[in-house]
Structure 1
Amino acid sequence: MNHVTWGLDVSTNKKKTAAVAIDWSVPGEARVVDVRHPLEAIAIAPLIAEHRESTWAVDVPFGWPDLFVALMAKRHDQPLPDDDLPRPGDWSVWRTKQVAQRRTDRFLTEHPAIRTRPLPASFQMLGATAAMWVLVEAELLRLGVAVDRSGSDGTVCETYPAAALSAWEFGKSKLAWPALQSNFPFLTADQDLVSRFFKSDDVCDAVVCALVARARDLDLTIPPPGEDAAAARREGWIHVTCEPSERLANHEP
């Protein structure tokens, strides 16, 4: 197992994109050892490829809902066929849940211990970030790093900090560095890094992503259920864990 995990908070704005590395080599401690912020989109794939032996957890949708993709193809040059239209009384559910949400989004929304609804990749401004990841994913493959969108194989997985924090019972709001240290007492960083970078919400979100990457390393995150596994390799799957956070600082899963 590699002793370093990386978290990546992705935005179309380089000033809001951040990558953070955490070293777990000292028992009982998780030390932030590298921060990249701001981070150009074009630099993301080379950075991941350079540290391909580490597990990465990335805050960006890896794909779009199957139904959304199919519908866009069907109605590209003509109105949607009648067989694909919902009943008038079901329009709202069809639009806000069936078309907007991936299986992983519905899973996190309905999970009794998480109950966090991710922003839909097919709507709102998040779609622009998801589209940017399309380019990063292709560049990663060119550099020899294949991404399994379900996060079941390889060293790159998708996550969502709000859902991860909720699963750990730390609420859904963004956490500043003092709150991160309070909730994860094994987390440390040199004061120089703290003073230079940790006023940024995006850097703190990247820390949460790196913590999820550690959970993925230890096989503590929730994988897609069997019936969703094939779709998750197309749509993506958000990795979180409901296991106690102190397990991250242990070397044995």
Structure 2
Amino acid sequence: MLTAGVDLAADPAGTAVASIEWSATGATVRLVAVPADDQAIVELAGQVRKIGIDCPLGWPDAFVAFVGAHRGGGVPIPDGVDARQWRRRLAWRHTDEVARRMTGLVPLSVSADRIGHTAMRCAALQTRLAQAGCGVDRSGAGAVVEVYPAASLKVWGLPWRGYKTARNQAALGVVVDHLEQAAPWLDLGGHEELCRHSDHALDAVVAALTARAAVRDQVCRPDERELPAARTEGWIAIPTGALAALLG
């Protein structure tokens, strides 16, 4: 079985993809590539059981309604609601708040941060994936699942911050060291060097590992009350089991 991961950026140059082949006793990284365009991602999705994408799959429902109301002439101003709390509901999705409660991490706001550029690309990518026959359900029930590599690393007890950008390559190498120690069954093969030099490559591998957790139902899922929002806003699959539990 194969799973894949995508560290998505607004442009192909900063985008990485990875795939992992799984057996009962181990896992082998079969692909790590940077850069990656939409066509490469669509082709990879057609070869795997599940693909994890590190990018919000949607915008907060409240934000979408807010923009529509503003375009129509004016936004409703809620009574008795703290202004900061009101803006928070526009900036972060329900799944972002769940991630905050579960991990202590604060995801970037898709409606009020630069990640919105990447989400625009991701919206078009979801259409391409659907047109290619890849099941897209933003709640994670289909072939695509939203992932958050920093949260996955933290849940698995691995270093999860301070390894981004070229100036932090030493820290990036430490993350790879810890991953290899925690998962001796994971063979990075000829892709280890790239993972030590590109945080995009490493995040793509972590995204593929998280996709495996989703296949094994070892991630948080939206309950019946949360499902409608998850299907429009997206839902971050945060691992609920140990890294070693990905085998089997």
Return the TM-score normalized by structure 2. 0.89
Task: Write out aligned runs for 1:32-181 (5 A).
Answer: 32-49=29-46, 51=47, 53-81=48-76, 84-85=77-78, 87=80, 90-95=82-87, 97-111=88-102, 114-152=103-141, 154-173=142-161, 174=163, 175=172, 176-181=175-180
1:214 CA displacement: 0.8
Letter of the structure 2 residue corresponding to residue 8 of structure 1: V
Letter of the structure 1 residue corresponding to residue 44 of structure 2: L
1:17 CA displacement: 0.6
Q: Identify if the C-alpha distance between structure 1 residues 146 and 24 changes in structure 2 by more than 3 Å, giving closer, same or farther.
A: closer
2:7, 2:16 within 8 Å by CA — same for their partners in 1? yes
SS at match of 1:212: helix
Letter of the structure 2 residue corresponding to residue 20 of structure 1: A
Whole-Å separation in 2 of the counterparts to 1:55 and 1:12: 22
Task: Write out aligned runs for 1:188-207 (5 A).
Answer: 188-190=187-189, 192-196=190-194, 198-207=196-205
Q: Which stretch shows the higher mean deviation, 161-170 or 134-143?
A: 161-170
Letter of the structure 2 residue corresponding to residue 99 of structure 1: L
**What runs of 5+ residues in structure 1 fail to find an aligned partner?**
none
Whole-Å separation in 1 of the counterparts to 2:153 and 2:188: 20
1:108 CA displacement: 0.9
2:147, 2:236 within 8 Å by CA — same for their partners in 1? yes
1:219 CA displacement: 0.9
SS at match of 2:217: coil
Whole-Å separation in 2 of the counterparts to 1:196 and 1:163: 22
Whole-Å separation in 1 of the counterparts to 2:39 and 2:72: 33
SS at match of 1:148: coil
Whole-Å separation in 2 of the counterparts to 1:105 and 1:238: 8
Q: For 1:157-189, what per-residue CA distance to the aligned partner results, in whole angstroms no more than 9, with x for missing partners?
A: 001011112222324314542232123222212
**What runs of 5+ residues in structure 2 fail to find an aligned partner?**
164-171
| Number of equivalent positions | 237
2:4, 2:44 within 8 Å by CA — same for their partners in 1? no
1:90 CA displacement: 1.0
Which of 3, 6, 10 lines up with 1:5 in the alignment?
Answer: 3
1:245 CA displacement: 1.2
Q: For 1:170-226, what per-residue CA distance to the aligned partner results, in whole angstroms no more than 9, with x for missing partners?
A: 243145422321232222122x32234541000000111111111111111110122
What CA RMSD, in Å, does the superposition of the two structures yield over aligned residues?
1.8
2:99, 2:238 within 8 Å by CA — same for their partners in 1? no
Whole-Å separation in 1 of the counterparts to 2:229 and 2:96: 12
Letter of the structure 1 residue corresponding to residue 59 of structure 2: W
Letter of the structure 1 residue corresponding to residue 55 of structure 2: V
Do structure 1's residue 238 and structure 2's residue 243 form an aligned pair?
no
1:12, 1:41 within 8 Å by CA — same for their partners in 2? no
